[in-house]
Chain A
């Protein structure tokens, strides 16, 4: 008998995996640079954050969840920066 938290966490993990697969499909579909950087930042940010949130919900309130929350905060700060720097250097090199 699985509890409600476990079911919700599994659903979130599955949703993150589906978002990652869709993002990879878009990455293969588009050929120009700027649509690709848009899609790949979706993989990093949305898919990864949903998957990690699912892990937090599954494990409940513990030290392990606190570490994952720290990883989520760092990803939330760093991933938009990576996309920004990639697109900026592409613009400056004349893509």
Chain B
């Protein structure tokens, strides 16, 4: 548990803020395209949170032959986050397919109208 807010790392704070902005947009809006976009926004916030671990001013990429561990970025989160981004493409493609099937069937992309129409039929 970490009580002080002032001694927090600023990038972590920004990532949590953007994550909850995406969550708020997911709840408060009724457009399905917006829902897909906000899922992507939340995923990007999580990836930025992982990449900012151990960030310092003047840090360099972990590419080279004689690396000093204090001066380079952490390569393990980067290797995991590359796979996460490609999985994000798969998620977006499946989401778009489901949405376009719904739009073709009900002629609308609004959650309220879609819920009403699917409960009628």
Direct contact of A and B (CB under 8 A): no
Which residues does A use to contact B, with CB under 8 Å? none
